Copies of this chain bind each other. A is one copy, B any other.
Amino acid sequence: MTIPLTREDCAARDAADPLAPFRDEFVLPDGVIYLDGNSLGALPRATPARVARLVEHEWGQRLIASWNEAGWWDKPRTLGALLAPLLGAEADEVVVGDGTSVNLFKTVAAALWLRPDRRVVVAEAGNFPTDGYIAQGVVDLVDGASLRMVDVDDPAALAAALEPGDVAVVLLSHVDYRTGILRDMAAVTEMVHAHGALVVWDVCHSVGAVPLALAQTGVDFAVGCTYKYLNAGPGAPAFTYVARRHHERVRQPISGWHGHARPFDFAPEYEPAAGASRFLSGSQSLIAAAALEASLELWQRVDLAQVREKSLALTDLFVAVTAEAGLECVTPAEHERRGSQVALRHPDGYPIVQALIARGVVGDFRSPDILRFGFAPLYLRYVDVYDAARALVEVVTSGEWQDPRFAQRAQVT
């Protein structure tokens, strides 16, 4: 399809967009074009009532009875089952709970136990920092383990890191949080397996934006969050995917009672539950779970192939229209190497992003020089993306970002 380059072209594309009706299912603030759904997804209209029902009825009126009658105990599994189709997984391969950092810890440690003769963890240089920090935490705790950082976008470097045959597990992101580069999950997983190692994929920046086929691709473990493209709210719970072939032998060290085979026996010995359930630890916020459930019910009706097609069209459009601003585009032009975001580079990226926000176009800045824009196809129109791109061109070419107020750094950037 050709890239629409006038606002009229964009309006025509919106009129024909099969995903267009979803926009009405989200709360979107007036006067804002929100290109940060890759950081915190917009609020689904159904969520407030669902959260209120949990708080006022299930908690307030029914109290502990809700553990049984509202299915609280099984929420990590029933939410996992709702997530599974978005991951290309079976229901019992996914559990919801804890955060991304904690789940990365569990899966990397689990992989080290599955490969007791290998003590090296390969992690991605330049990944979102928590991934490397967590890998470091695991190897510091496990005797003889060590960390090897590698540029995973260089196949020769990855092959060289795997070559010694001492690698237990490779931890990397499906989509780079800064550049938006999409990795070839199938090829990397195959290469890692060919060297006898396991792989943990961080899919925070792809779930809900890129169709995933974790089971078919042979992925061992995957971890991701639900507050970006999945619209489950700030700090919403993360999930863990555990391939069925590991279910019998795998164990993880944060072995809390929710991961026990018979938790209400209160037995002194830990005996892991079947399937991915053994990756659970303790109680999770049911209020947060209610918000996630509301968003996942919406996502059950979404065709991810349509999402991917529109995502690529929106990023194509944004790149084409912003070209006039003359910023370097870091995100690959090739569709098969692009997630659902566009990263542009400018040494004054921070004030430019602030000036754009002052115009109602919300993107974000990633140190040292990346202007980052995320594209959530369920609630963004082609005309929104066109208007946002034009605004960026105007902000850059007018020099309005040079106003000193845009240089003042906030705590969270």
Q: Which residues of A contact B (CB under 8 A)?
A: 27, 29, 32, 34, 36, 39-40, 42-43, 47-48, 51-52, 55-56, 58-68, 72-74, 98-102, 105, 109, 125-126, 128-130, 132-134, 136-138, 140-144, 149, 225, 227, 233-238, 252-258, 260, 263-268, 270, 281-289, 291, 362, 364, 366-367, 410-413
CB distance from A134 to the nearest CB of B (A): 6
Which residues from chain B contact A258 at a C-beta distance below 8 Å?
A: 101
Query: Is B52 a contact of A48 with CB atoms below 8 Å?
Result: yes
CB distance from A353 to the nearest CB of B (A): 11
Q: A58-B234, A59-B233 are in contact. List 13 more A-B contacts (CB 8 A).
A: A36-B64, A48-B55, A55-B291, A59-B234, A74-B411, A100-B283, A102-B282, A130-B256, A132-B270, A133-B257, A133-B260, A141-B253, A264-B367
In the complex, which of the residues B132, B256, B264 contacts A413, with contact meaning CB atoms closer than 8 Å? B264
The 3 closest A-B pairs by CB, nearest first: A101-B256, A143-B143, A101-B282
Query: Is A234 a contact of B98 with CB atoms below 8 Å?
Result: no
Which residues from chain B contact A51 at a C-beta distance below 8 Å?
A: 51-52, 55, 287
- A234-B134 in contact given A99-B282, A366-B266, A412-B68 (Cβ < 8 Å): no
Query: Is B102 a contact of A285 with CB atoms below 8 Å?
Result: no
Closest to A412 in B: B67
Which residues from chain B contact A128 at a C-beta distance below 8 Å?
A: 257, 266
Closest to A256 in B: B101
Query: Is A283 a contact of B34 with CB atoms below 8 Å?
Result: no
Q: In the docked arrangement, what's the CA distance between A126 and B268, Å? A: 7
In the complex, which of the residues B61, B234, B256, B282 contacts A283, with contact meaning CB atoms closer than 8 Å? B234
Which residues from chain B contact A233 at a C-beta distance below 8 Å?
A: 55, 59, 285-287
In the complex, which of the residues B48, B67, B109 contacts A141, with contact meaning CB atoms closer than 8 Å? B109
Closest to A281 in B: B101
Closest to A36 in B: B64
Q: In the docked arrangement, what's the CA distance between A101 and B270, Å? A: 13
A-B contacts, 11 of them at CB < 8 A, read A48-B52, A73-B411, A102-B256, A136-B255, A136-B270, A137-B252, A234-B285, A235-B283, A235-B285, A264-B411, A287-B287
CB distance from A270 to the nearest CB of B (A): 4
Query: Is A27 a contact of B61 with CB atoms below 8 Å?
Result: yes
Which residues from chain B contact A260 at a C-beta distance below 8 Å?
A: 129, 133
Closest to A237 in B: B285
Closest to A112 in B: B141
CB distance from A204 to the nearest CB of B (A): 10
CB distance from A153 to the nearest CB of B (A): 16
Query: Is A285 a contact of B287 with CB atoms below 8 Å?
Result: yes
Which residues from chain B contact A144 at a C-beta distance below 8 Å?
A: 143
Query: Is B72 a contact of A234 with CB atoms below 8 Å?
Result: yes
